[in-house]
Amino acid sequence: MKKILYSLLAISTLSLVSCKDDFLESSPTETLSTATVEQKVKGLYTLMIRMNTGNNEINYTGASPDHTDFGQKGWDIYTDMMSGDMALEGLNYGWYSTIASTDGQVNPTNNDSRQVWRSYYRMINAANEIIDILGGTNAVPTTAETKQQMAQAKAIRAYAYFNLLQMYTPKYNATAESIPLYTSFNPQAGPKATQEKVYAQIVDDLTKSIDYFNGFTREFKGQIDQGVAKGILAYVYAAMGKNAESAVLAKSVISDYGYPLTTRTETYYDVATSGGGGFNDVNTKSWMWGYDIVILNGLDLVSWWGMIDIFTYGYASVGDAKGIDANLYDSIGKDAAGNPILDSQGNPIVDVRKLQFSNTDNGDYSDYIPMNKFFNAKRIEQGQRQISDDYLFMRVDEFYLLAAETLAKSGQEAEAKTILKQLLDVKMYGFNAAGTEEKVTGYINALSGVALQKEIYKQTRLELWGEGKAYMAMKRNQGTMVRGANHKFLVGVPIQYDDNRMYFKIPQSEVDNNPNF
């Protein structure tokens, strides 16, 4: 009942919003005066899961004008494809072809750039409305209620700005012009701010949110709380190259909030036992932040599940599959030289993450699709028509990897290895002479310097595949991607993290309508 009531409230709150066509008024601009601040706060989160948040008519009830526009998980697919770790394996309907070909990133008139821009600025403007009601950006809330409301609004604003900076700039450069910065509701058009200024606002918002969240217990995992805010800030610091600060926060997320690692059983579907895996339930203990999707939310094939899961009626199930990059798949269970990692008996280890994906032995499906990682529990092809599987935004496993990465970059390699092995010991194993399972992560001990950092980066790509984390990891680690043979575009072409094809250009509609540009 609570789940249904929450969805009703969120939908009714968002339905009060109307939008206008030019950029400055493309964020939610009007709500009924009777809507409470708490309703507005909860309404913020529906912008992360709703269709059409990147188009003109957010309340449009007909067929979605763009089937890639369904909130944060839509943009997660964009960034996973931009990184090259997610391959577009079919072109029957054309969705994502401009992202996979990189035209969407290069061409400022392309709708891909425009709808991501509008979606995040809508979130920002909606957050700014709440912040203004509570007294403005510089106000200091004094009650428990207003503190948590301000904390959530500022955290969402920071999250949106951080995503915009990542997706619309080639790399971190403090003095470079970036995007407009708005801290009040319905502002006049503003100039591009430097990255330094936008990052300063993001850090300030998240730092204050973390403080204001003290003592707050959220109602649902769909809301941000202190642990999630720390997680976002850890990513922000890592993107800025402040690795020591990021490591402190990542370790706090691991130790202070009681989230266990995703278990081996939860990691993949075991064909032998017909159980495990799915990544479809917000109640999974390792999930820190996710949205509890119900049929009332009205999601169907125009959704993350419709695009990724063959057991959902949607594009993945009719040939437009999205799969793991073939080269990345082939690297699972191998060392940096491409040699199999062996157990004490000289046999190749088992890495259960390789079992998340189809391969040529399956025969009936496209190769490399995540049919044993992300799926509807009934596992009936096209069985889920109305979406009730949940959306994942953040899980604690990310911070084992981020802590390992930032510790290694800070010179604290021993601790980085220890934390990395804690995660990998769950996912990788071999057998000793007695046939008993044994740990196989000892190879990590010999790594140092760049070799250790590359291994952590690779394990981040494997563990978090399809979760919207690969693009930012690529930028943090200054990676170069060479796409495998299962891509439809740019196979074998090296693309560096800061290549012109690796970030969106500010939409032409914004350039035309903003007199400061």
Q: What is the pLDDT of residues 136-168, one digit of tens each?
A: 999 999 999 999 999 999 999 999 999 999 999
pLDDT tens digits, 239-289 = 999 999 999 999 999 999 999 999 999 999 999 999 999 999 999 999 999
pLDDT given for residue 362 in this prediction = 54
- Burial class of 105 by CB neighbour count within 10 A (0 to 12, 13 to 18, 19+): buried
pLDDT tens digits, 353-408 = 999 999 865 555 689 999 999 999 999 999 999 999 999 999 999 999 999 999 99
Mean pLDDT of 451-476: 99
Quote the CA–CA distance of 348 and 85 in Å, as a whole number: 24
pLDDT given for residue 391 in this prediction = 99
pLDDT tens digits, 471-497 = 999 999 999 999 999 999 999 999 999
pLDDT given for residue 55 in this prediction = 79
Quote the CA–CA distance of 233 and 24 in Å, as a whole number: 27
Mean pLDDT of 89-98: 95
Hey, what amino acid is at 137? T
pLDDT tens digits, 294-347 = 999 999 999 999 999 999 999 999 999 999 999 999 999 999 899 999 999 999
> How far, in Å, are 16, 173, 196, 410, 450 from residue 244 at the CA level?
44, 19, 19, 6, 17
Quickly state the pLDDT bin for 56 (edges 50, 70, 90): low
pLDDT given for residue 53 in this prediction = 85
Mean pLDDT of 184-195: 96
Quickly state the pLDDT bin for 60 (edges 50, 70, 90): very low
The pLDDT of residue 459 is above 90? yes
Mean pLDDT of the chain: 92
pLDDT tens digits, 213-242 = 999 999 999 999 999 999 999 999 999 999
SS3 503: coil
pLDDT given for residue 34 in this prediction = 67
Q: Which residues contact 272 (CB under 8 A, 6 or more apart)?
A: none
Q: Both tokens of residue 487?
A: 């891509």
Instruction: Give the closest residue to 457 by CA, choosing from 477, 438, 442, 475.
Output: 477
The pLDDT of residue 31 is above 50? no
What is the 3-state secondary structure of 429-455? EEECCCCCEECCHHHHHHCCHHHHHHH
Q: Which domains does the chain have, with CATH numbers?
A: 2-513 (1.25.40.390)
Quote the CA–CA distance of 384 and 293 in Å, as a whole number: 13
